[in-house]
Structure 1
Amino acid sequence: MPSGPHDASFVPALIVVDVQEDFCPPNGALAVPDGRRVVAPINALLRLPFALKVATKDFHPPSHVSFASNHTPPDNVPFASSVTIVNPLNASETCSSRLWPPHCVQGTPGADLLPDLDAAALDAVVEKGQDHRVEMYSAFADPFRAPCVAQSALEELLTQRGVTDVFVTGLAMDYCVRYTAEDAVERGWRTWVVEEATKAVDADKWDQVKQEMEAKGVRFASVDGEEVGRVKALAGKDKIA
């Protein structure tokens, strides 16, 4: 199990969520306002001595359930319509999901990480959203619990490295960053969202979403704040050792 807040150890990991072409202006199919502005602070974080640095990617098949084009009119308007998704392994479990334009389709340029992102500094890239039957905002798993349908290698990577604290960045704050952070808390990690390193789909709801995340145990940090400062301090400790 990950170490709890009482543990004096500090083994931080950086998760860079879905910094992909389709989530960024000017040509992204599901462009997050100012999405490209997350790259500079994320690259600054990638230069720090995190024990593990992982990027995630939406990597959808063309038939993905979240694509409005895969549903019947008139209830298939991107951004406006929602769909009830049934757990394909348990018909009694359902969830509601917003419909989107097709995005981050496997094999298309829109699924690529932004070229300005310092991908050479990453230890791993985790792909998600590959099961066309379920939505998967979280980089850990789909939202179903009885049973879970699809999960990534992220939890295993963090556990193997002995991570105690997770720092989440990327796109978008109110969707994939949010659910990745909340799932990290649920799995026992101290979890921080670095505010300068994320942007929201619905920026006017930032404060509301932040409060909801904090209520679930997610904490917020700054690039220049105390929490990231602890990561910076590890460089000095490595030199002493």
Structure 2
Amino acid sequence: MQTHAALILVDVQPDFMPGGSLACHEGDAIVPGADRLLRRRLFRHCVATQDWHPRGHASFASSHVGTQPFQQIPLHGHPQTLWPDHCVQDTAGAALHPAIDWSSLDLILRKGSDTQVDSYSGFRENHGPDGSRPSTGLAGWLRERGVDEVYVAGLARDVCVLWTVQDAQALGFRAHLLWDLTRPVTPDSDEATRATLRAAGIGIVESADSLA
């Protein structure tokens, strides 16, 4: 068991998979591996984040007249990508994926529930009206349990997973991204994602090699 490490599974939800409203490239391919990893109980603590948006969220293109999904607008002084409506609270697309046994989870952290603030990272929300990035409380929760290292997987590799693992490293955790258990919105972003991770000193690992 990884006694001082936690597994963070980011937004493994049907809306981010083929057929979902914001499908990642091959997003469903990570489901069997994520399920196997949870069943192995290699980590003392396992966390899942869950995108959990109210209807009319500020990150939805449908909330801004004359805009289209994937267009960028300024929001609270920072660029905001506008998304298709996705992971709306209490819809099937927002559920944690039903093909995964989630019984070993210690925490489900719902994010993105503030109508005016998007929330990619499991550790901090995006910039809000006052310019800050409020904490979700996850860092403190992990530290209280003696965690100093995290392995991050899930969706999407180039957005919420990337922001989560970057924040983990910035907040003092040894951070690793389980590359084979992530998928991007588009694979065109993979080269830039790898470069960003390397520049930050974040480990890029394969689950079969690092968790054997």
CA contact (8 A) 1:141 1:148 kept: no
In the alignment, structure 1 segments of 5+ residues that lack a partner are 1-8, 87-93, 230-241
Deviation of the 1:196 alpha carbon: 0.9
% identity of equivalent residues: 37
Q: Which residue of 2 aligns with 1:11?
A: 4
- 1:78 aligns to 2:62 (yes or no): no
Q: Distance in 1 between matches of 2:9 and 2:171?
A: 18
Alpha carbons of structure 1 residues 149 and 212: separation in structure 2 relative to 1, 3 Å = closer
- 1:138 aligns to 2:121 (yes or no): yes
- 1:117 aligns to 2:109 (yes or no): no
SS at match of 1:181: helix
RMSD of equivalent CA atoms: 1.7
- Give the letter aligned to residue 29 of structure 2: R
Judging by fraction of residues, say which structure has more strand. Answer: 2
Q: Distance in 1 between matches of 2:101 and 2:198?
A: 29
Q: Distance in 2 between matches of 1:205 and 1:147?
A: 27
CA contact (8 A) 1:173 1:201 kept: yes
CA contact (8 A) 1:85 1:97 kept: yes
Moved over 4 A (4+): none
Q: Which residue of 1 aligns with 2:157?
A: 173
TM-score by length of 1: 0.82
SS at match of 2:147: coil
SS at match of 2:119: coil
Q: Distance in 2 between matches of 1:39 and 1:163?
A: 25
- Give the letter aligned to residue 146 of structure 2: G
SS at match of 2:43: coil
SS at match of 1:184: helix
Q: Which range moves more in the overlay, 201-210 or 13-22?
A: 201-210
CA contact (8 A) 2:118 2:126 kept: yes
Q: Which residue of 2 aligns with 1:45?
A: 37
- 1:103 aligns to 2:86 (yes or no): yes
- Give the letter aligned to residue 22 of structure 1: D
Q: Distance in 2 between matches of 1:150 and 1:25?
A: 31
Q: Which residue of 2 aligns with 1:236?
A: none
Q: Distance in 1 between matches of 2:132 and 2:113?
A: 14
Q: Which residue of 1 aligns with 2:55?
A: 62
Cα shift readout 1:12-65 (whole Å, capped 9, x = no counterpart)? 100000001111112x11011211111111122212320110000000111211
CA contact (8 A) 1:131 1:150 kept: no
Deviation of the 1:147 alpha carbon: 5.4
Deviation of the 1:115 alpha carbon: 0.5
Alpha carbons of structure 1 residues 161 and 205: separation in structure 2 relative to 1, 3 Å = same
SS at match of 2:207: coil
In the alignment, structure 2 segments of 5+ residues that lack a partner are none
Q: Which range moves more in the overlay, 183-192 or 158-167?
A: 158-167
Q: Which range moves more in the overlay, 61-70 or 40-49?
A: 40-49
- Give the letter aligned to residue 72 of structure 1: V
- 1:25 aligns to 2:8 (yes or no): no
Cα shift readout 1:165-209 (whole Å, capped 9, x = no counterpart)? 100000000000000000000100000000110000021220221
TM-score by length of 2: 0.93
